[in-house]
């Protein structure tokens, strides 16, 4: 597995990470825990060193899963987790909470669940408009000085907030959605990250599964699947967005690669400091995703993808309105 550095921070990780959220949360009933531990350890065997979780996934159970699975590899892998939500005793989210005292409480709890002495990368999960970002960055800076956190990250933040935070405590990585069907980061985010030397970690690099070509307008999701409330996944929008999947499939045929591999290879080709974190609960999909690192897209391939993609207008919002309001702040 190739390695990449997240911006100028010096934090080196595998070119592809593993998003672990779906192993406990969001996409229907949680799979068997033992099987997920095997999957995570298989990822390590195949060269993946970068794993993404959050206290909010479950909540808490995903961090516990990742902590148990990666305990034998202490010091060999990089674990990213997140703070920023208030979670009630019944496990329900009660809004955002990035107060410095809460950040420090979350850090202590995450350290225990992850079974580590220091959190490698600690993201603010979403910008909390009720707490100045300078206070947030300052709290993480103190945790770094105490040796409890190694790197500071942000998720779905806008450029002004990133700059303000970065001035207090250098931001190692921004995690936001980015793929061939969500390209808004190209407008302001990516140029700003390049200027400041911040790495980019795209989540949902396969469009929450849509870009794999395994989902069409007839696909039925489990009632607990998050995609049921996503406008982009309404049946009529899935049908309209099929053109993007067809584009990837056509290139894949020529490259002897799957649609998913082409979608990931496209992301990897954008910048050397971009590290996608596709999630999966299946070993065969893990292997498929890892195979994307070997798919080489020439400048001509990339130009053809760009030309074809520019003629396709993706239908449907990526989030319901109330969730979209939490992003890009």
In angstroms, the Cα distances linking 310 to 137, 247, 274 are 38, 11, 22
| Average pLDDT rounded to a whole number, residues 296-307 | 95
pLDDT confidence bin for 90, thresholds 50/70/90: confident
Q: For residue range 106-142, list pLDDT tens digits in order.
A: 999 999 999 999 999 999 999 999 999 999 999 999 9
Residue range 176-226, pLDDT digits in tens: 999 999 999 999 999 999 999 999 999 999 999 999 999 999 999 999 999
In whole angstroms, give the CA distance from residue 172 to residue 154. Answer: 9
pTM over 0.85: yes
Which residues, in sequence order, are bridge partners of residue 93? 87
Complete DSSP assignment for 87-98: E-TTS-EEEE--
How many angstroms separate the CA atoms of 11 and 198, rounded?
11
Q: Which of 265, 253, 242, 257 is nearest to 312 (CA)?
A: 242
Q: What are the pLDDT digits (tens) for 234-281? A: 999 999 999 999 999 999 999 999 999 999 999 999 999 999 999 999
Domains and CATH numbers, the chain: 3-324 (3.20.20.100)
Helices 299-309 and 259-270: crossing angle in degrees, nearest 10, is: 110
Q: What is the mean pLDDT of the chain?
A: 96
The order of strands in the sheet holding 78-83 is 18-19, 50-52, 78-83, 119-124, 149-155, 171-177, 199-203
**From CA 118, how far away is CA 101, in angstroms rounded?**
18
Which residues, in sequence order, are bridge partners of residue 12?
Answer: 5
- Contact partners, residue 216, CB within 8 Å, separation at least 6: 238, 239, 242
**What are the percentages of helix, strand and coil residues in the chain, rounded to 5?**
45, 15, 35
Pairwise CA distance, residues 199 & 4, whole Å: 10
- Of the residues 57, 123, 178, 319, only one is catalytic, namely 57
Query: How far is Cα 241 from Cα 273, in angstroms, rounded to an integer?
Result: 28
Is 57 catalytic? The answer is yes
Indicate the length of the chain as a whole number. 329
pLDDT over 90 at 28, yes or no:
no
- For residue 91, the model assigns a pLDDT of 87
Alpha helical stretches, state H, 88-132: 100-114
Specify the 3-state DSSP secondary structure of 124.
Answer: strand
Kindly report the backbone phi and psi dihedral angles of residue 266, in degrees, each rounded to the nearest multiple of 5, phi listed first. -60, -45
In sequence order, the β-bridge partners of residue 179 are 182
d(Cα 266, Cα 248) in Å, to the nearest integer? 10
């Amino acid at each position: 597995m190739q390695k990449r550095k997240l911006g100028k921070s010096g934090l080196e990780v595998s070119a592809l990470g593993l998003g672990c959220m779906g192993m406990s949360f969001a996409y229907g009933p949680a799979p068997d825990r033992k099987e997920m531990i095997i999957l995570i350890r298989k990822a390590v065997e195949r060269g993946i060193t970068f794993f993404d979780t959050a206290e909010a996934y479950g909540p808490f159970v995903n961090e516990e899963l990742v902590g148990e699975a990666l305990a034998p590899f202490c010091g060999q892998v990089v674990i990213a987790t997140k703070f920023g939500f208030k979670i009630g005793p019944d496990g329900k989210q009660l809004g955002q909470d990035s107060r410095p005292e809460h950040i420090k409480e979350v850090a202590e709890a995450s350290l225990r669940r992850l079974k580590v002495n220091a959190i490698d990368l600690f993201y603010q999960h979403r910008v909390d408009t009720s707490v100045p970002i300078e206070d947030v960055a300052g709290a993480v800076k103190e945790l770094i000085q105490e040796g409890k956190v190694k790197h500071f990250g942000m998720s779905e933040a806008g450029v002004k907030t990133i700059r303000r935070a970065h001035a207090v405590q250098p931001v190692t990585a921004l995690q936001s959605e980015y793929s061939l069907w969500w390209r808004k980061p190209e407008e302001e985010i990516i140029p700003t990250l390049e200027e400041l030397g911040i790495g980019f970690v795209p989540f949902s690099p396969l469009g929450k599964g849509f870009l794999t070509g395994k989902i069409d307008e007839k696909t039925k999701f489990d009632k607990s699947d998050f995609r049921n409330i996503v406008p982009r996944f309404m049946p009529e929008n899935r049908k309209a967005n099929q053109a993007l999947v067809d584009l990837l499939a056509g290139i894949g045929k020529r490259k002897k690669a799957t649609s998913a591999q082409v979608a990931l290879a496209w992301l990897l080709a954008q910048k050397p400091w971009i590290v996608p974190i596709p999630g999966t609960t299946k070993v065969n999909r893990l292997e498929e995703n890892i195979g994307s690192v070997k798919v080489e897209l020439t400048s001509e391939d990339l130009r053809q993808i760009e030309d074809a993609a520019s003629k396709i207008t993706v239908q449907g919002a990526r989030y319901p309105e109330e969730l979209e309001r939490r992003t890009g702040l």
